[in-house]
Amino acid sequence: MHGMPEGHTLHRLAREHRAALAGAPVVVSSPQGRFAAGAARLDGAVLDDVESHGKHLFYRWDNGELLHVHLGLVGTFTTHASTAPPPSPAARLRMAGERVTIDLAGAMIVELVDPAHAEAVRSRLGPDPLRRRRGDRGRFGDNLRRRAAPIGAVLLDQSAVAGIGNVYRAEALFATGIHPDRPARSLDDDEVSALWGTLSSLLRAGVRDGRIVTVAPADVGVRSRARIPDAERVYVYRRGGAACRRCDAPLRAWTLAGRTITACEACQAPRA
């Protein structure tokens, strides 16, 4: 599926990069040159940890530096085995460890930040359903109660909840039977809890599977998640006009917050 990566992809990248590079010195360079000064400050440092928050990545180094990355729409990491080919001229960042070399091209943000800046970035982000922080479900509920905008728009607002993109917003609203046009503040406590729980479990499944699969195997006639064909792995996303997998009603697609959303208005009844 195309478009900006959603939170599960960033969480997997953080995990993979931590496993591949943390705990040893990393040779850091900027083949393309735009990050040359930053790369020079990281070169030879030991990577301590990598964390994702929503769609942002933070790399913490033993010399006190903090690297902030946001992929944007076209940013891509490429991981090479220990004998990496010469970097592409488009690679803004290359991190070479003992076992793997990781190149980054096309990212929207590649910058060294001080802890205060990192904290400012993170304080503007809503709770991330992948982070299992105490109190985050309550913060999510508070953020919804403050917003009169449609819930389908608020789920894409990274300051309300971090890491949700166009696929998970449509699928989570379908799974919880919530109409995308309902004002966020009209959701009752049970709906808020169900939505938070669904976002958490869908994103966790995405981290596990490495792809977005939201359908239950039985709903597409197979026995296991691994057997779900790529073309049938979602309930509503990009299925406007097709039949609902649950009730056979035709799915409706419309534009909400600048992106196409699809819903089943039988399963997701509009209500006050």
Q: Please list the active-site residues.
A: 5-6, 55, 259
CB 111 to Zn ion: min, Å = 45
CA distance 172 to 162: 14
Are 57 and 10 in contact by the 8 Å Cβ rule? The answer is yes
Residue 20 found at the interface with Zn ion (CB under 5 A): no
Residue 244 found at the interface with Zn ion (CB under 5 A): yes
For Zn ion, the closer of residues 17 and 245 by Cβ is 245
107: exposed, middle or buried (Cβ count in 10 Å: 0-12, 13-18, 19+): buried
Binding mask 186-225 for Zn ion (x = CB under 5 A): ----------------------------------------
Residue in the structure block whose two tokens are 């040359």 = 36
Residue 252 found at the interface with Zn ion (CB under 5 A): no
Q: Which amino acid is at 11?
A: H
Residue 267 found at the interface with Zn ion (CB under 5 A): yes
For Zn ion, the closer of residues 156 and 244 by Cβ is 244
CB 265 to Zn ion: min, Å = 8
Q: 17-28 burial by CB neighbour count: b if 16+ within 10 A, else e?
A: bbebbbeebbeb
For Zn ion, the closer of residues 48 and 191 by Cβ is 191
Cα–Cα distances (Å) from 151 to 43, 147, 259, in that order, read: 44, 8, 13
Size of site (CB under 5 A) for Zn ion: 7
Residues near Zn ion (CB under 5 A): 244, 246-247, 249, 264, 266-267
